[in-house]
Amino acid sequence: MNLNELIGEARSQVKEISVAQYIENRFSYEQLIDVREPDEFAAGHLPEAINIPRGVIEMQLCTKPEFNKPNRPMALMCKSGGRSALAVQSLQKLGFNQIVSIKEGYDGYVRLNQEK
Q: Work out how many domains the chain is built from and give that number.
A: 1
Q: For residues 33 and 51, what is the distance between their CA atoms, to the nearest angstrom? A: 6
> How confident is the model over 92-102, as pLDDT tens digits?
999 999 999 99
Please tell me the predicted confidence (pLDDT) of residue 116.
62
The runs of H, that is alpha helices, within the chain are: 3-13, 19-24, 38-43, 57-63, 82-93, 105-115
Task: Tell me the pLDDT tens digit for each residue of 32-66.
Answer: 999 999 999 999 999 999 999 999 999 999 998 88
> Domain of 18?
3-115
Q: For residue 83, what is the domain's CATH number?
A: 3.40.250.10
